[in-house]
């Protein structure tokens, strides 16, 4: 009897469970969520077969444990799950958007467990909760795996198989490269979009809403994301974000200076480079 | 015989002409474009009935003149068209994204012509040229009209009717409010998105493309827009943009400081305000 233990039955965990049901990788799925109504909803939607109240006590009876909870809770959960699992070969994998701080916390509290496989599915939505769960959420999307030297190769192989079965394209990278690249391609754009919308709304006598069109809507779509989740992501990737933020501010000041000094040929060259860069960078981005 | 003279047969002019054909507001449409291949293409697509080589010479025989050319060419064209039209009641209207600099240029070169109606359709696309023209481009979109005290009420009424016939929702505002609001809701987001993508691609040893997902794609969609057109828009609205840019830079520095100083409750409050602001501002944004 293969059993998936799912901790966190929201958008990511719920979507993975629905994909696993379809693929038949597990014979049963049991789930826990700190939010009792989300847990009940995920059982009602058929995301899990059974709701449990103590995931750590259940861990040794599972074939695999997926941790799909906010980033700042991952390291503590891994530590308690691994203590309960002991030497059993039960892969434990998470879905957090930041990897370095979780890995550092584990190294600083007893070392890297062999069963733990750090993964990050590059999929999401401004919607959240079990009602947003979708078995196709990971279809064609990348999942970054940041395995450590201590990671058990068998656990790693199985986690990769499950993500592939969920429709994902699995990519390996170091935690350092992962955290830098997601800062650049996701975390910093979120922070800019959030800051832009807050600034736009603050201290305006007129309401700019009637002038807002599809450009602003797309530019700021990520500012509709869950503030609690993003507070945690920003905090978890804080060191990398602060480094990169200064570089971005410098680039913005330089662009401002091109306009201020009427260096319009240089400004147009910037626009041309940006358009070409976007076409090149997003060639592989998901639709 | 009612005849529309269209100067500029690209996305905006071509879409308006197709909408006018469908509505039957004009019996014929003649067109001019500085780009001979675009002109030929617009005739081949049935956007115009006849291609002309000298729009100023044709102006007195038209019932209306639409100027759908880059912003920096509008004031000079209006001046020459009005000189050819004389006292005839032939509305001349433009579609430029910036109004204040065009109006100031006209005031500084002989005064505001009564026949000129400044308009700005809040519609567009990262695609351009006659092949992108679409009779539904303006459907449900806002057209801002920034009439001046000198504007002939009859000319104003007819231009409004044509935009309404094209499916648009017509909104009146002063040129000052218009230029400030489009700086905030369109021009500055474009400049930020362009600068972000140029910065992201410059001086990166690794290619971030494999980490780029739908969030970055939407955030940067406006950076795929035409650089030549946007250079002109930035230059035309330069004074307002520079004022607002400094306020945005200050807001970004403040957000950076919240993260740097671990003031995470205040950062989360910013994210909450931003999400609420976006929902409020974009309530009326077009889909």
Instruction: Answer yes or no: is pLDDT of B285 > 50.
Output: no
Question: Per-residue pLDDT tens for B4-24?
Answer: 999 999 999 999 999 999 999
Asked whether the beta carbons of residue A191 and residue B259 sit closer than 8 angstroms, the reply is: yes
Burial class (CB in 10 A: 0-12, 13-18, 19+), B12: buried
Residues of B in contact with A189 (CB under 8 A): 196, 215-216, 219-220
Per the structure block, which two tokens stand in for B254?
């403040």
Phi-psi region of A140 (alpha: psi -120 to 50; beta: other; left: phi over 0): left
Residues of A in contact with B189 (CB under 8 A): 196, 215-216, 219-220
Is residue A24 less than 8 Å (CB to CB) from chain B? Answer: no
The predicted structure's pLDDT at residue A214: 84
A172–chain B nearest CA distance, Å = 11
The predicted structure's pLDDT at residue B258: 98
Eight-state DSSP code of residue B116: E
B261–chain A nearest CA distance, Å = 10
Helix axes B175-182, B100-107, angle to 10 degrees: 140
Residues of A in contact with B235 (CB under 8 A): 259, 262, 264
Instruction: State whether the Cα torsion B59-B149-B187-A259 is positive or negative.
Output: positive
The predicted structure's pLDDT at residue A127: 72
Asked whether the beta carbons of residue B248 and residue A196 sit closer than 8 angstroms, the reply is: yes
Residue of chain B whose Cα is closest to the Cα of A279: B224
Residues of A in contact with B199 (CB under 8 A): 247-248, 251
Asked whether the beta carbons of residue A217 and residue B282 sit closer than 8 angstroms, the reply is: yes
pTM above 0.90, yes or no: no
Closest CA to A123 of A139, A112, A107: A139
Low-confidence ranges of chain A (pLDDT < 50): 285-287
Give the separation between CA A177 and CA B225, rounded to whole angstroms: 30
Is residue A171 less than 8 Å (CB to CB) from chain B? Answer: yes
Write down the mean pLDDT value for chain B: 93
Q: Other C-beta atoms within 10 Å of A281: how many?
A: 24
Residue B287: pLDDT band by 50, 70, 90 thresholds? very low
Asked whether the beta carbons of residue A215 and residue B278 sit closer than 8 angstroms, the reply is: no
Eight-state DSSP code of residue A187: I
Give the separation between CA A274 and CA A61, rounded to whole angstroms: 52
Residues of B in contact with A206 (CB under 8 A): 177, 180-181
Contacts of B206 (CB under 8 A, 6+ apart): A177, A180, A181
- Backbone φ and ψ for B171, nearest 5 degrees, come out as -125, 135
Instruction: Answer yes or no: is pLDDT of B114 > 70.
Output: yes
A155–chain B nearest CA distance, Å = 24
Closest CA to A14 of A2, A36, A29: A29
First to last CA, chain B: 37
Asked whether the beta carbons of residue A195 and residue B274 sit closer than 8 angstroms, the reply is: yes
Question: Per-residue pLDDT tens for A114-129?
Answer: 999 999 999 876 678 8
Instruction: Answer yes or no: is pLDDT of B80 > 90.
Output: yes
Residues of A in contact with B234 (CB under 8 A): 259, 264, 267
Mark out the alpha helices in A203-261 (DSSP H runs): 214-219, 227-236, 238-260
Q: Count of CB contacts below 8 A, A vs B?
A: 312
The predicted structure's pLDDT at residue B263: 98
Which positions 185-204 of A are in contact with B (Cβ < 8 Å)? 185-186, 189-202, 204
Is residue B169 less than 8 Å (CB to CB) from chain A? Answer: no
Question: Per-residue pLDDT tens for B252-275?
Answer: 999 999 999 999 999 999 999 999
Residues of B in contact with A205 (CB under 8 A): none
Give the separation between CA B53 and CA A286, rounded to whole angstroms: 45
The predicted structure's pLDDT at residue A213: 82
Residue of chain A whose Cα is closest to the Cα of B244: A200
Which positions 226-285 of B are in contact with A (Cβ < 8 Å)? 227-228, 230-231, 234-235, 238, 241-242, 245-249, 251-253, 255-256, 259-260, 262, 264, 267-268, 270-285
The predicted structure's pLDDT at residue A282: 80
- Backbone φ and ψ for B42, nearest 5 degrees, come out as -70, -30
Instruction: Answer yes or no: is pLDDT of B78 > 60.
Output: yes
Residue of chain B whose Cα is closest to the Cα of A192: B252
Is residue A122 less than 8 Å (CB to CB) from chain B? Answer: yes
Instruction: Answer yes or no: is pLDDT of B223 > 50.
Output: yes
The predicted structure's pLDDT at residue B286: 43
Lowest mean pLDDT among A191-200, B127-136, B201-210: B201-210
Asked whether the beta carbons of residue A249 and residue B256 sit closer than 8 angstroms, the reply is: yes
Buried b (16+ CB within 10 A) or exposed e, A156-182: bebbbebbeebbbbbeebebebbbbbb
Q: Are strands B92-94 and B28-32 parallel, antiparallel or unpaired?
A: unpaired
Which residue of B243, B277, B279, B284 to mutate against A (max A Cβ within 10 Å)? Answer: B277
The predicted structure's pLDDT at residue A287: 40
């Amino acid at each position: 009897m293969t059993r998936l233990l799912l901790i966190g039955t929201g958008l990511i965990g719920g979507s993975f469970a629905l994909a696993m049901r379809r693929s038949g990788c597990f014979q049963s799925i049991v789930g826990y969520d700190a939010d009792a109504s989300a847990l009940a909803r995920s059982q009602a939607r058929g995301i899990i077969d059974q709701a449990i109240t103590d995931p750590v006590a259940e861990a040794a009876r599972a074939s695999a444990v997926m941790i799909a909870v906010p980033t700042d809770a991952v390291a503590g959960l891994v530590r308690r799950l691994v203590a309960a699992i002991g030497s059993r070969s039960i892969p434990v994998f998470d879905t957090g958007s930041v990897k370095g701080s979780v890995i550092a916390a584990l190294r600083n509290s007893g070392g890297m467990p062999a069963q733990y496989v750090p993964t990050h599915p590059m999929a999401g939505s401004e919607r959240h909760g079990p009602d947003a769960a979708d078995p196709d959420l990971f279809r064609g999307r990348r999942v970054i795996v940041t395995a450590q030297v201590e990671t058990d190769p068998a656990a790693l192989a199985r986690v990769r198989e499950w993500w592939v079965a969920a429709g994902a394209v699995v990519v390996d990278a170091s935690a350092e490269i992962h955290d830098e690249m997601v800062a650049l391609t996701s975390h910093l754009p979120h922070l800019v979009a959030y800051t832009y919308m807050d600034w736009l709304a603050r201290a305006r006598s007129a309401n700019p809403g009637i002038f807002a069109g599809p450009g602003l809507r797309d530019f700021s779509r990520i500012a509709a994301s869950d503030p609690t989740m993003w507070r945690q992501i920003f905090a978890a990737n804080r060191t990398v974000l602060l480094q990169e933020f200064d570089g971005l501010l410098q680039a913005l000041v330089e662009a401002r200076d091109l306009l201020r000094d009427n260096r319009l040929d240089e400004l147009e060259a910037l626009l041309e480079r940006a358009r070409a860069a976007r076409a090149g960078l997003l060639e592989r981005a998901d639709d």
